[in-house]
């Protein structure tokens, strides 16, 4: 069991900070997903930890010991880079055992480790084949086997599902999760895909501007994002940026916001005021489609917006996933009220509708 700590890690490329005083802790046996957009520094972070790239300042601690001065070979870290990098002229068996042979281990020990990792990754039928004879998902299993056959203290996975077709992604993700749990290997898993993060991680770390901006259990980060950009990267529904806001505490107690779906006047009593408001999040359950007659009698604390239906999908009994476009932005919600079922079922794509949004339930980011 191994704990990984990154302290104040910085790295520049052509005067630009790729990693900027980055801090991160991964507990022993934990799988942390680093989620961020392309170019945010995710791959650079893995390469610095693995010893492939050098950093300027900061520490990389494994069980409290700084490994920054060690060569990649001496760090005992397994690294699976993006893409399937296998030796094309070697059989799968030789690809997997290449590192063990380089360490000049005995033949018996190599065979013992090979048998163990083959069973764990379920690649027995591939051993006598060449890389060009197997699928993308199979290549990724082999790359995983090669990185883990030496039983590393830490495993680094860089977009391991990016080159896999959609039908095989979930299966491979669950395989990676199973292997990680069985071996209790401390793991960093990099992706830009929110669904992967939700499927595989113990915790998720949101990364942009060369820093870990927020880290926590996936459900907690999803429910309480730090700001608009964090929520957007997390893939939260109904997240919209705020261009201007003002706070009126004395008179009507409102936060007045200019958003991409219109101006909103949100009661202070139902909102947690932050030092800086960057966006809003509207819970899908707090959006309703109403008739024009009902809109005349709407609650004072709600807002009415006109929009265009993009799609209506029935996903269960009295359960619909509805997407409506308002001023160029999509807003989604799940409809479960039986009283309005016929209205919802009658909706068609490109139909004009009126939405009512509960302002008291709007979350400030």
Q: What is the pLDDT of residues 96-121, one digit of tens each?
A: 999 888 888 899 999 999 999 999 89
Give me the helix-helix angle, 107-121 and 136-148, nearest 10°: 140
Give the whole-angstrom CA distance, residue 344 versus residue 325.
16
Look at residue 49 in the predicted model and tell me its pLDDT: 97
The answer to whether residues 148 and 117 touch, using CB atoms and an 8 Å cutoff, is yes
Composition of the chain by helix, strand, coil, percent to 5: 30, 35, 35
- The dihedral sign for the CA sequence 337, 340, 344, 350: negative
The C-alpha angle 4, 32, 65, rounded to 5 degrees, equals 0
User: Is 189:157 a contact under the CB 8 Å cutoff?
Assistant: yes
Residue pair 141/122 in contact (Cβ under 8 Å)? The answer is yes
What CATH number does domain 237-364 carry, 2.40.50.140, 3.90.226.10, 3.40.50.970, 1.10.10.200?
2.40.50.140
Q: 75 pLDDT exceeds 80?
A: yes
Radius of gyration of the chain (CA): 25
Contact 260, 228 (CB under 8 A): no
- Report residue 24's pLDDT band, with 50, 70 and 90 as the boundaries: very high
Question: CA-to-CA distance for 72 and 154, rounded, in angstroms?
Answer: 12
pLDDT exceeds cutoff 90 at 344: no
Tell me the pLDDT tens digit for each residue of 284-334.
888 887 754 454 445 556 777 888 888 888 887 777 888 888 988 998 887
Q: Convert the pLDDT of each residue in 134-162 to its tens digit.
A: 988 899 899 999 999 999 999 999 998 88
- Where in the sequence of the chain do the CATH 3.40.50.300 domains occur? 4-232
- 36-58 pLDDT, tens digit each: 998 899 999 999 999 999 999 99
Q: What is the pTM of this model?
A: 0.87
- Out of 3.30.300.30, 3.40.50.11810, 1.20.1250.20, 3.40.50.300, the CATH code matching 4-232 is 3.40.50.300
Per-residue pLDDT tens digits for 239-294 = 999 988 887 766 567 788 889 988 888 877 645 566 688 888 988 888 887 754 45
- Distance from C-alpha of 299 to C-alpha of 275, rounded to nearest angstrom: 29
Taking Cα atoms as reference points, which of 230, 229, 225, 264 lies closest to residue 247?
A: 264
Dig out the tokens for 221 from the structure: 């980060």
Instruction: Dump pLDDT digits (tens) for 162-206.
Output: 877 777 788 888 888 999 999 999 999 999 999 899 999 999 999
209-243: b (≥16 Cβ within 10 Å) or e:
ebbbbbbbebeebbeebbbbbbbbbbebbbbbbbe
């Amino acid at each position: 069991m191994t704990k990984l700590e990154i302290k104040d890690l910085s790295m520049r490329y052509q005067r630009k900070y790729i990693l900027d005083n980055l801090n991160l802790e991964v507990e022993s046996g934990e799988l942390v997903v680093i989620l961020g957009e392309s170019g945010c520094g995710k791959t650079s972070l893995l390469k610095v930890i693995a010893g492939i790239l050098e950093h300027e300042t900061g520490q990389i601690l494994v069980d409290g010991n700084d490994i920054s001065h060690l060569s990649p070979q001496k760090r005992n870290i397994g690294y699976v880079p993006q893409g399937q990098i296998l030796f094309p002229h070697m059989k799968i068996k030789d690809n997997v055992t290449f590192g063990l042979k380089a360490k000049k281990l005995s033949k018996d020990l190599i065979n013992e480790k090979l048998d163990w990792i083959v069973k764990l990754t379920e690649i027995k039928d591939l051993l006598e084949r060449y890389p060009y004879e197997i699928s993308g998902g199979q290549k990724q299993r082999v790359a995983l086997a090669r990185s883990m056959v030496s039983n590393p203290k830490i495993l680094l996975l860089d977009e391991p599902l990016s080159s896999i077709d959609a039908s095989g992604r979930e299966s491979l993700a669950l395989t990676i999760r199973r292997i990680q749990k069985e071996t209790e290997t401390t793991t960093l898993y990099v992706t830009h895909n929110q669904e992967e993060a939700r499927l595989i991680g113990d915790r998720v770390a949101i990364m942009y501007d060369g820093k870990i901006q927020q880290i926590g259990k996936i459900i907690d980060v999803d429910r309480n994002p730090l700001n608009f950009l964090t929520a957007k990267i997390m893939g939260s529904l109904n997240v919209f940026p705020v261009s201007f806001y003002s706070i009126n505490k004395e008179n009507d107690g409102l936060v007045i916001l200019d958003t991409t779906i219109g101006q909103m006047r949100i009661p202070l009593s139902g909102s947690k005021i932050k030092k800086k408001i960057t966006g809003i999040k509207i819970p899908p359950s707090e959006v309703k489609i109403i008739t024009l007659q009902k809109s005349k009698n709407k609650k004072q604390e709600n807002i009415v917006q006109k929009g265009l239906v993009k799609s209506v999908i029935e996903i269960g009994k009295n359960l619909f996933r509805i997407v409506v476009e308002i001023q160029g932005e999509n807003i989604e919600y799940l409809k479960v009220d039986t009283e309005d079922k016929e209205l919802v079922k009658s909706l068609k794509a490109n139909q004009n509708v009126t939405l009512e949004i509960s302002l008291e339930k709007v979350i400030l980011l």
